[in-house]
């Protein structure tokens, strides 16, 4: 286990340790209390929600020179996982597996080692996204623009096994129309949105992102030597925070078919350090622009769910160079088939008298 991986696991434990005691306070539970309008949302959290799913998580790092209108797109090799999961009350567990016979043609992109701890907590009034990721092993996804068509034809997937990144982030949103709008219905499938409804959202986020290679992240043999002012760095460290707002809406057709879309955008600041090849460090504050998109499409009813759902975040960080920025992205695309089952023997958990 790497030192950075240990840091991520430690931070995740500290966040949980900080949140759980706060959740035990009466004021916190009163804040989460929701009088759900059952004409719009049906709650099935007291039933067992079982699923089988196919999932692909992703991670990306882009270097953009807006002046030249050119970029370098780094991508890891992300496999398609098949898994099983279940939810009951406040408990949820999903186990995904990378089957070699499904991902047998991925060697052309190189090998990627990763730990991806994306967690999305959907309460009735609040949604919280936690990202704890480490990826090692990337390839350049646009070699024709980076090296030219002739070189790209000879090496269509240039690999950088030395590049590794680590990202820790927390994003929280308050849901204004919690009585009629459900994030759980398309994303956790333990609720059923019976009528169309939407809600305004407001919140904020904080991220720490680090990308490092054994040599310059901007290759020396580019076709355009003016890219990024011929600026070469082997490591980037970004700390950012933004305040954000947005809107979410679920359209329901004939009681069961649904289309759900949620978009939030944020503006804030970042502190960026670039470690240059000559041994110096460039530091500066810059503008930060973040966004989070959730989308889902499918069929939902009292007993059955089938659909595609997606959540992704994008962090655009201004660099210590004019007209240049870095973009980090992470997300998850999943197809789920779900069946709900009534629990005949009641399972008792310590709980408060509150609907969340």
**Which domain, by its residues, includes 175?**
39-341
Query: Strands, DSSP E only, in the chain?
Result: 41-43, 48-65, 70-76, 81-88, 91-97, 113-116, 119-122, 126-140, 159-175, 191-193, 197-212, 233-253, 257-276, 281-300, 304-318, 324-341
Question: In this predicted structure, what is the pLDDT of residue 116?
Answer: 86
Question: Is 23 inside any structural domain?
Answer: no
Question: Is 25 inside any structural domain?
Answer: no
The predicted-structure confidence for 231-277, as pLDDT tens digits, reads as follows 899 999 999 999 999 999 999 999 999 999 999 999 999 999 999 98
Which token pair is 5? Answer: 């991986």
Say how far residue 301 (Cα) sits from the centre of its chain: 27
Alpha-carbon distance of 141 to 130, in angstroms, equals 27
Question: In this predicted structure, what is the pLDDT of residue 295?
Answer: 97
* Domains contained in the chain, number: 1
Question: Is 24 inside any structural domain?
Answer: no
Contacts by residues 93-102 (CB-CB < 8 Å, ≥ 24 positions apart): 94/51, 94/53, 96/53, 96/55
- Looking at residue 107, which CATH number applies to its domain? 2.40.128
Question: Is 122 inside any structural domain?
Answer: yes
Q: Are 266 and 202 in contact (CB under 8 A)?
A: no
Alpha-carbon distance of 238 to 256, in angstroms, equals 43
Alpha-carbon distance of 266 to 249, in angstroms, equals 19
Question: Is 56 inside any structural domain?
Answer: yes
Question: In this predicted structure, what is the pLDDT of residue 221?
Answer: 78
Question: Is 294 inside any structural domain?
Answer: yes
Burial of 324 from C-beta contacts in 10 A (0-12 / 13-18 / 19+): buried
Enter the pTM of the model: 0.84
Question: In this predicted structure, what is the pLDDT of residue 23?
Answer: 44
Alpha-carbon distance of 222 to 340, in angstroms, equals 55
Low pLDDT (below 50) residues in the chain: 1, 5, 18-24, 353-356
Question: Is 14 inside any structural domain?
Answer: no
Question: In this predicted structure, what is the pLDDT of residue 20?
Answer: 47
Question: Is 115 inside any structural domain?
Answer: yes
The predicted-structure confidence for 294-305, as pLDDT tens digits, reads as follows 999 999 998 999
Burial of 132 from C-beta contacts in 10 A (0-12 / 13-18 / 19+): buried
């Amino acid at each position: 286990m790497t030192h950075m991986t240990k840091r991520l696991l430690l931070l995740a434990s500290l966040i949980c340790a900080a949140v759980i005691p706060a959740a035990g306070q009466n004021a916190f539970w009163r804040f989460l209390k929701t009088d759900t309008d059952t004409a719009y949302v049906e709650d099935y959290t007291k039933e067992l929600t079982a699923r089988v799913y196919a999932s692909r998580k992703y991670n990306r790092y882009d270097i953009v020179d807006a002046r030249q209108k050119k970029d370098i797109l780094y991508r890891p090799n992300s496999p398609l996982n098949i898994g099983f999961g279940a939810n009951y009350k406040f408990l949820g567990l999903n186990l995904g597996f990378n089957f070699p016979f499904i991902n047998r043609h991925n060697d052309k992109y190189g090998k990627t080692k990763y730990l991806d701890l994306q967690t999305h907590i959907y309460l009735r009034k609040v949604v919280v996204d936690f990202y704890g990721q480490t990826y090692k092993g990337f390839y350049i996804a646009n070699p024709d623009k980076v090296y030219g068509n002739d070189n790209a034809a000879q090496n269509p997937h240039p690999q950088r096994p030395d590049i590794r990144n680590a990202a820790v982030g927390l994003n929280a949103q308050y849901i204004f129309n919690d009585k009629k709008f459900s994030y759980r219905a398309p994303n956790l499938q333990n609720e059923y949105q019976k009528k169309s409804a939407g809600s305004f959202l407001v919140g904020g986020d904080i991220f720490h992102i680090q990308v490092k290679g054994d040599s310059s992240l901007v290759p020396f043999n580019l076709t355009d030597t003016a890219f990024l002012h011929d600026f070469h760095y082997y490591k980037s460290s970004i700390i950012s925070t933004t305040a954000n707002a947005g809107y979410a809406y679920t359209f329901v057709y004939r009681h069961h078919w649904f289309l759900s879309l949620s978009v939030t955008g944020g503006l804030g600041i970042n502190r960026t350090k670039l470690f240059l090849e000559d041994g110096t460090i460039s530091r500066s504050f810059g503008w930060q622009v973040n966004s989070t998109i959730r989308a889902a499409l499918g069929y939902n009813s009292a007993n059955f769910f089938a659909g595609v759902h997606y959540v992704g975040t994008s962090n655009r960080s201004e660099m210590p160079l004019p007209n240049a920025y870095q973009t980090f992205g992470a997300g998850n695309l999943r197809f789920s088939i779900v069946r709900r089952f009534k629990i005949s023997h009641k399972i008792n958990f310590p709980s408060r008298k509150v609907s969340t």
